[in-house]
Amino acid sequence: MEKLLIVDDNNDIRKQLKWGLSKDYTVLSAGNAKEALAFFRKHQPKVVVLDLGLPPHESESAEGFRCLEEILADAPNTKVIIITGNDERKTTLKAVQMGAYDFYQKPVNLDELKVIINRAFHLYNIEEENLRLHLALDSKTTELGGMFGQCSEMLKVFSTIRKVASSDVSVLIVGDSGTGKELAARAIHSMSLRKDGPFVPINCGAIPESLLESELFGHEKGAFTGAHTQLQGKFEYAHKGTLFLDEIGELPANLQVKLLRFLQEKTIQRVGGREDIYVDARIIAATNIEISKAIQEGKFREDLYYRIGVITLNLPKLSQRKGDIMLLSNLFLRKFSAEFGKKIKGFSASAVELLESYNWPGNVRELENRIQRAVIMSESSIIEPHDLGFTEKPARQKVTFQNGMTLKEARDKVEKEMIISAVERHNGNIAKAAVELGISRPTLYDLMRKHGI
Ligand SMILES: Nc1ncnc2c1ncn2[C@@H]1O[C@H](COP(=O)(O)OP(=O)(O)OP(=O)(O)O)[C@@H](O)[C@H]1O
Ligand SMILES: [Mg+2]
């Protein structure tokens, strides 16, 4: 439900309005300017109903004007509806000149007021949508299913997505971590004929091998110890929709065979089941490793690669999309400023220089995180380089040992520390962290459970 803020010093009126409007809106109410502004900043309502005569001087409008001014300075698009007495023509006029959306004269008739409020929300939403479209069409900026870009590399990506979306073939999305693989998969789904069906993502690298098979294909009751009931897998959930297999390079050999069989025959078998189940799902897969290398090393089936990679979509690194960095930075700045209720206008010249020259190993995700951090940290209306957190050393503390620690305690501490940092370094990719630590994936899972990671 949309949020509506009511500001009136009269308790009875507040109660009456709240009672009358709560069916249609989430109603917040405040009795003075301070409370009103605090609610406003916290909840960011699109529409405010404001009585100008607020304490400490209820008979004047000064406090009400101040409140109106602050609300509009914070969020100029807010629709503020002024409630006035009979003889307050001049003050009403002034409020409208200051940017109030509309006014309403006491005594309040709930049905009439409802019409005005409803129209205010409607207008707000239209303006917002217009702004979004305007941003998308702004100069050369292009948006496709939530992906933004204007450099030639991304325009190529968009053009491929448009072409493949409606064709129902499998797509393999290749790109480094944080380049937007999942976003691209969702864009393809949302533009396909399956858009009203489910989009089912599963990360093949994040689920222990022993569980992955029944996650994907489901299992019959009694298929193995612990299989107390029949379970549908992700394939079946994706019926009439799209199954997104993230980190396909991590798919174990036996499941590669099952996937290949699905791609050829459109049927699957649950673990412990004999029945062939027909599933109508489109496969989109993603990987951040070079599949050709995995094929050479015998880890990935060549025949599966040919089936699944009928169309390959390559997402460029962010460092290869220099022309998009400020576009994305501004996009994230607007998004997080609104989210955290901050008024930040832009970036200083040195911040721009930094953003454009940095190498972005974590790609768009890193950019998004850094801008989010900057919006939270910034104390002025301009983002400066230090807000972006480039100068800080990694915050992780070195392991320290206290006197009187047993050898076992010390060992545990080092073990935990090494596991955390390896998992972090690989962005939560357990398989890679296990390789680095020189242990098997199940062992790493056991250790993580033991240390409560
Ligand atoms: N072109 C883009 N425009 C706007 N936002 C983007 C774009 N590309 C990526 N993002 C945002 O960056 C973040 C990372 O994107 P996404 O999760 O799709 O990347 P990924 O390639 O799947 O990463 P990983 O390999 O780490 O799983 C998301 O929050 C996404 O919304
Ligand atoms: Mg991803």
Q: What is the pLDDT of residues 39-51, one digit of tens each?
A: 999 999 999 999 9
Q: Candidates 154, 182, 244: which one to mutate for ligand 1, based on the most atoms within 8 Å of Cβ?
A: 182
Q: Residue 32 above 90 pLDDT? A: yes
Q: Candidates 153, 364, 368, 424: which one to mutate for ligand 1, based on the most atoms within 8 Å of Cβ?
A: 364
How many angstroms separate the alpha carbon of residue 185 from the centre of ligand 2? 10
Q: Residue 135 above 70 pLDDT? A: no
How many angstroms separate the alpha carbon of residue 419 from the centre of ligand 2? 22
Q: Candidates 188, 288, 365: which one to mutate for ligand 1, based on the most atoms within 8 Å of Cβ?
A: 365
Looking at the chain, the whole-number percentage of residues with pLDDT higher than 90 is 58
Q: pTM above the 0.95 mark?
A: no
Pocket of ligand 1 (CB under 6 A): 147-149, 175, 177-183, 288, 328, 364-365, 368, 427
Averaged pLDDT for residues 218-236: 90
User: Which of 288-302, 358-372, 420-434 has the lowest average pLDDT?
Assistant: 420-434
pLDDT in tens, 244-280: 999 999 999 999 999 999 999 999 999 999 999 999 9
Local confidence band at 140 (pLDDT 50, 70, 90 cut-offs) = low
Local confidence band at 399 (pLDDT 50, 70, 90 cut-offs) = low
What pLDDT score does 136 carry?
A: 59
Tokens linked to 76 = 């100029």
- Average pLDDT of the residues of the chain: 89
What pLDDT score does 398 carry?
A: 54
Q: Do 435 and 415 reside in the same domain of the chain?
A: yes
Give the contacts of 379 (CB within 8 A, at least 6 positions apart).
Answer: none
Tokens linked to 237 = 């959930």
How many angstroms separate the alpha carbon of residue 366 from the centre of ligand 1? 9
What pLDDT score does 245 carry?
A: 97
How many angstroms separate the alpha carbon of residue 294 from the centre of ligand 1? 24
Domain boundary among 269, 284, 314: 314
Looking at the chain, the whole-number percentage of residues with pLDDT higher than 70 is 95
Domain boundary among 135, 155, 184: 135
Q: Do 101 and 194 reside in the same domain of the chain?
A: no
Task: From the CA of 173, give the closest atom in ligand 1.
Answer: 21
Please say whether the beta carbons of 180 and 144 come within 8 A: no
User: Does residue 423 lie within any of the structural domains?
Assistant: yes
Q: Which amino acid is at 71?
A: I
Distances (CA, A) of 447 to 62, 149, 224, 421, 423: 64, 42, 24, 14, 12
CATH number for the domain harbouring residue 431: 1.10.10
How many angstroms separate the alpha carbon of residue 177 from the centre of ligand 2? 7
Q: What 3-state class would DSSP assign to 185?
A: helix
Q: Which ligand is nearest to the CA of 180?
A: 1
What pLDDT score does 393 carry?
A: 40
Q: Residue 133 above 70 pLDDT? A: no
Q: Do 181 and 290 reside in the same domain of the chain?
A: yes
Q: Do 23 and 71 reside in the same domain of the chain?
A: yes
Q: Do 306 and 323 reside in the same domain of the chain?
A: no
Task: From the CA of 182, give the closest atom in ligand 1.
Answer: 18
What pLDDT score does 439 carry?
A: 87
Averaged pLDDT for residues 95-112: 89
Of residues 401 and 107, which shows the higher confidence score? 107
Q: Do 178 and 291 reside in the same domain of the chain?
A: yes
Give the contacts of 138 (CB within 8 A, at least 6 positions apart).
Answer: none
How many angstroms separate the alpha carbon of residue 240 from the centre of ligand 1? 25
Q: Do 366 and 260 reside in the same domain of the chain?
A: no
Task: From the CA of 175, give the closest atom in ligand 1.
Answer: 21
How many angstroms separate the alpha carbon of residue 178 from the centre of ligand 2? 7
Q: Which ligand is nearest to the CA of 146?
A: 1
What pLDDT score does 368 carry?
A: 96
Q: Which ligand is nearest to the CA of 174?
A: 1
User: Does residue 397 lie within any of the structural domains?
Assistant: no
Task: From the CA of 288, give the closest atom in ligand 1.
Answer: 25
User: Which of 187-201, 316-330, 435-449 has the lowest average pLDDT?
Assistant: 435-449
CATH number for the domain harbouring residue 307: 3.40.50.300
Q: Which amino acid is at 345?
A: K
CA angle 135, 372, 427 (to 5 degrees): 115
Give me the domain span that covers residue 290. 167-314
User: Does residue 354 lie within any of the structural domains?
Assistant: yes
What pLDDT score does 395 carry?
A: 40
pLDDT in tens, 173-225: 999 999 999 999 999 999 999 999 999 999 999 998 889 999 999 999 988 88
Q: Do 338 and 304 reside in the same domain of the chain?
A: no
In total, how many domains does the chain have?
Answer: 4
Domain boundary among 112, 135, 158: 135
Residue nearest to atom 10 of ligand 1 (CA): 180
User: Does residue 400 lie within any of the structural domains?
Assistant: no
What pLDDT score does 438 carry?
A: 85
> Running DSSP on this structure, what letter comes out for residue 219?
B
Averaged pLDDT for residues 225-254: 93
User: Does residue 161 lie within any of the structural domains?
Assistant: no
- 285 vs 243: CA distance, rounded Å: 8
Q: Residue 392 above 50 pLDDT? A: no
Q: Do 102 and 173 reside in the same domain of the chain?
A: no
Residue nearest to atom 12 of ligand 1 (CA): 365
Q: Residue 394 above 50 pLDDT? A: no
Please say whether the beta carbons of 406 and 397 come within 8 A: no
User: Does residue 238 lie within any of the structural domains?
Assistant: yes
Helices vs strands, H then E, count in the chain:
18, 16
Provide the 10 A C-beta neighbour count for residue 223: 17
How many angstroms separate the alpha carbon of residue 337 from the centre of ligand 2? 25
How many angstroms separate the alpha carbon of residue 130 from the centre of ligand 2? 30
Q: Do 365 and 277 reside in the same domain of the chain?
A: no
CATH number for the domain harbouring residue 369: 1.10.8.60
User: Which of 79-83, 135-139, 415-419 has the lowest average pLDDT?
Assistant: 135-139
Q: Do 307 and 327 reside in the same domain of the chain?
A: no
User: Does residue 398 lie within any of the structural domains?
Assistant: no
Q: Do 323 and 445 reside in the same domain of the chain?
A: no
CATH number for the domain harbouring residue 16: 3.40.50.2300
User: Does residue 396 lie within any of the structural domains?
Assistant: no
Averaged pLDDT for residues 286-303: 92
Please say whether the beta carbons of 378 and 387 come within 8 A: yes
